[in-house]
Amino acid sequence: MNTVLDAIEKRRSVRSYESKEIPKDILNTIIEAGNQAPSAMNSQPWRFVVVEDSAMKKKLLQAALPNAKKILEQVKDTDPERYELIMKRYDEMEDPVYYSAPAIIFVIGSGRYADHSCPLACENIMLAAHSLGLGTCWVGFGSMVTEDAGVKGSLALKDDEKIFGPIVIGYPEVYPDPPAKKPPEVKRV
C-alpha cells in the first residue's frame, strides 16, 4: 500500500502514553512537517510552541480542566451515558485533558488565512508523528487556557492569535483499534 495512504488510514487518537522523552531531533522533524503544510497564499500563518516541562503541563491542565468540565455539563442532559463515561475517566485519570503526554505541540496562528491553514499544519504534524512511531491526539479542550494570564504569557499568546492545536504527542502505551467509519458522502456533478 502507498505509505501516505497507509499512514492516513492507520493513524489513531492516542490517549495513553509512555513517560519516555521524545528526542529533540524527532520533535524538530515533526514540527518541520507541520511547517511544510500548504497555506493560503503561502502565508504560513502559524508558529509552534512545544511544552515538555512538567510544571508547565500542570499549569495548562489547571487552566483547561475547569473549562472542559463546564463544556461537558452541556452533554449531561443530551447524552447522559457519554457524560457519565467521560466524567468517570476524568475522575480516574491524573491528566484527562493532555493525557500525561511527554510533549504538547501548540499550533498558534493569526491573520486572515489562519483558520484555513493552521489545521493543515496540525494534520501534517499528526501524520508525521505517526510515521515515526509516535501517537498523537488533537485535544480541543486543551486550547481552553487563554483565560489564564500566566499560561497566556508562557505561550507568548498575543490578542490576535488563536490556538489551533494543541496536539499531545508521545510513544503510545496503548494503540487504539480503529473506530467504525461511515462511508464518505460524495456527490459528483
- Give the pLDDT confidence score for residue 178 in this predicted structure: 85
Instruction: Answer whether 33's CB lies under 8 Å from 93's CB.
Output: no
Give SS3 for 110.
Answer: strand
Instruction: Render pLDDT for 75-94 as a digit per residue (tens, 0 to 9).
Output: 888 999 989 988 888 889 99
Cβ within 8 Å of residue 86, ≥6 positions away: 72, 75
CA distance 30 to 22: 11
Is the pLDDT assigned to residue 1 strictly greater than 80?
no
Q: Is the dihedral of CA 144, 145, 149, 154 positive or negative?
A: negative
- Tell me the pTM: 0.93
HSE of 138, CA atoms in CB hemisphere, 13 A = 16
Tell me the mean pLDDT in the region 149-158.
97
Category of 41 on φ-ψ map: left (φ > 0), alpha (ψ -120 to 50) or beta: left
Which residue from 109, 105, 110 is spatially nearest to 128, judged by alpha carbons?
A: 105
Considering Cα of 150, then 161, then 127, then 82, what sign does the dihedral take? positive
Taking only the tens place, the pLDDT of each residue in 94-122 is 999 999 999 999 999 999 999 999 999 99
- In the chain the domains, ranked by start, together with CATH numbers, are 13-170 (3.40.109.10)
CA Rg value for the chain: 17
Cα separation, 189 vs 179, in Å, equals 30
Residue 37, amino acid:
A
